[in-house]
Amino acid sequence: MNLDFKEQIWKGGFRPTLQAESFEDRIRAKLGLTAKYESARLSIGRSLCDSAPPEPVRPTDERGKPIAGEYLFGDEIDLWMSIIAIDGQLGESATPDDFRTLLEAHWLRGARLLQGEFEECGEDEVRFITRLAQLLPSSFGAKASAGFAPGVSGEISLKVGSVSRTFPGEVPVTFSINSPGKAPHIALMGKNGSGKTTTGVQIAVEIASTARIPLLFIDPKGEFVSGVGAVGALGAGLPSMQAVEVGMESIPLDFLPDPDVGNASITQAAMQFRDSIALCCNHPGDIQLDILRTAVEKVIRHERKRDLSAVREAYKRELDQAGKKHDSILSRLNELTQLQVFAASSTPSEFFGQSWVLSLKTVATEELKKLVILLILDSLRTFMLSQQESPVVEGYRTLRHLLVIDEARRILANKRYQSLVDLVRQGRSKGEVVMLLSQDPSDFDGQADSFMTQLGTVIAFACVQTQRGLRSLQGTFGRRLQPNEFADTFLPPGVAFAKLPGREPERIMCWSAEREKA
């Protein structure tokens, strides 16, 4: 490209769509930006983070007011022109119109991506900025988390348990977990002995096998782990699945980020660790929590040893320097290190790229079980949200990873816990699937409505009902629910009341004792 080309870009005008312009008006007010070019650069830069080429703006799309190239690019025009040209593979024969078409396509796509992410963050500017800080540096040259290959592309069709027929009627039932516009996440609920876990395991094995993706199964009761490894339906369905009996052996996961990920990501990881510890301690003070955050940041930045014992020692040093005594945070860190819960022998990419079942049966206390789960989810959240968008093939989002949490009420009870919410809300675009197994609808009470509507599939066996719990499921089922719809008389053994993607709420026979014997 010659100087004449640059002159035409400098003097030319670039027009956003009306949709992009309208959103950028909102985002500038929220973030305190004063110039239109600032929000425009943000949108264009966001689109450039996606390696796939953007779709051109349609001729029918309404346009907003143009911005001259001299204002849109400013003194960094050479850098912007180079990035756009390299991204679009524009050669010597490219014209200013070719450049304009490509840039305006990036502008529109970036605004749409930002709008979706802004709304997923509840229009909270701090969460939104933190999310962008994690995304943008990894896409423009900083060291990004290594990813793993997506699974099978195209539609992933599933059954609902071993029988999967309407009740009554006996009509076979299948559903697509990754259909266009539908959330892939699944909730199963039912009282003990209802077959909830059995059905959940059958679906999980089918997802992992059909989509060819790794599965992380968190097993608080230890039903699927023995001395020989994974057992039961998990071990039979996924022979390559590895098992860890937490408390007897360590989880081989380095849950702290690499020191090269950037200041924002390091601070975010330290804050996540702090918040998870705080949920499992007796009213830790603000000073202690800030000391813990500082200690974790120092371990990430400076320590060669990157495990919980390093965090404990760093926190103890910070406490001593501040003149503080032994507290509940140090007690929790002592418990975790004595059990040797984590061994920093695998990167998140290596760990989450394999299938695991983690038994917490031998972990002594409920608080400690909860903390182990929180730290694993923190690491999974950081890793998955650092990935590029998962490809969409013929409208179907390609899946990458499946997380299953049995007895999920331990986590759902913590209304302020953000990592699970982020995995559900934001993980979808990265190819993450979350399956939650719990006792009854009331376990979801108090979670945000937007969280519940992200659970695209709900499968409920007979279980306890409260009006508050039923209200939490109304968004997913699309109507008011009555307690009798979850009662034993309405749902005999093996039958679930289900809302599947693209189908009306209905009763489905998931399993049958007679058929299992046969």
Quick one: tokens of 262?
């950037």
Coil/strand/helix, residue 219:
strand
Q: How far apart are the first and last CA of the chain?
A: 74
Place of tokens 């090269």: 260
pLDDT in tens, 330-360: 998 998 888 888 988 888 999 999 999 999 9
DSSP state of 429: G
Quick one: tokens of 437?
């197994």
Residue 139 predicted with pLDDT over 70: no
Q: What is the dihedral angle through the alpha carbons of 494, 480, 191, 242, rounded to the nearest 10 degrees?
A: 80
Run of H or E residues at 422: helix 418-425
pLDDT band per the 50, 70, 90 thresholds, residue 397: very high
Quick one: tokens of 297?
């940041």
Looking at residues 133-157, what average pLDDT do you find? 62
Cβ atoms of residues 189 and 440 within 8 Å = yes
pLDDT in tens, 480-507: 889 899 999 999 999 999 999 989 999 9
DSSP state of 326: P
pLDDT in tens, 67-111: 999 899 888 888 888 888 888 878 778 888 889 999 999 999 999
pTM: 0.72
Looking at residues 47-55, what average pLDDT do you find? 79
pLDDT band per the 50, 70, 90 thresholds, residue 135: low
Distance CA 347, CA 256 (A): 9
Residue 290 predicted with pLDDT over 70: yes
Quick one: tokens of 158?
């599933």
Closest CA to 42 of 102, 139, 114: 114
Distance CA 114, CA 16 (A): 14
pLDDT band per the 50, 70, 90 thresholds, residue 142: very low
pLDDT of residue 324: 87
pLDDT band per the 50, 70, 90 thresholds, residue 437: very high
Distance CA 67, CA 9 (A): 11
Place of tokens 């309405």: 490
Q: Which residues, listed in sequence order, are joined to residue 392 by a DSSP beta bridge?
A: 397
The rounded mean pLDDT for the chain is: 86
Quick one: tokens of 321?
């320097």
pLDDT of residue 132: 75
Distance CA 279, CA 300 (A): 22
Quick one: tokens of 116?
């979706």
Say what percent of the chain tops pLDDT 90.
42
Cβ atoms of residues 145 and 268 within 8 Å = no
Looking at residues 36-46, what average pLDDT do you find? 90
pLDDT of residue 462: 92
DSSP state of 390: P
pLDDT band per the 50, 70, 90 thresholds, residue 314: very high
The most confident of the ranges 35-39, 206-210, 297-301 is 206-210
pLDDT of residue 144: 42
Say what percent of the chain tops pLDDT 70.
93
Residue 180 predicted with pLDDT over 50: yes
Three-state secondary structure readout of 267-310? HHHHHHHHHHHHCCCCCCCHHHHHHHHHHHHHHHHHCCCCCHHH
**Residue that wins the pLDDT comparison between 497 and 324:** 497
Residue 140 predicted with pLDDT over 50: no
Could you give the C-alpha distances from 413 to 217, 446, 447, in angstroms and in order? Answer: 19, 8, 9
Q: What is the dihedral angle through the alpha carbons of 219, 220, 226, 228, rounded to the nearest 10 degrees?
A: 40
pLDDT in tens, 220-251: 999 999 887 899 999 999 998 999 999 899 99
Quick one: tokens of 223?
């039903």
pLDDT of residue 145: 47
Cβ atoms of residues 460 and 498 within 8 Å = yes
Coil/strand/helix, residue 502:
coil
Looking at residues 317-336, what average pLDDT do you find? 89
Residue 124 predicted with pLDDT over 60: yes
Residue 20 predicted with pLDDT over 50: yes
Cβ atoms of residues 11 and 68 within 8 Å = yes
**Residue that wins the pLDDT comparison between 21 and 262:** 21
pLDDT band per the 50, 70, 90 thresholds, residue 450: low
Distance CA 363, CA 341 (A): 9
Cis peptide before 257 (omega within 30 of 0): no
Could you give the C-alpha distances from 489 to 221, 305, 463, 485, 507, in angstroms and in order? Answer: 29, 58, 11, 9, 12
Residue 5 predicted with pLDDT over 70: yes
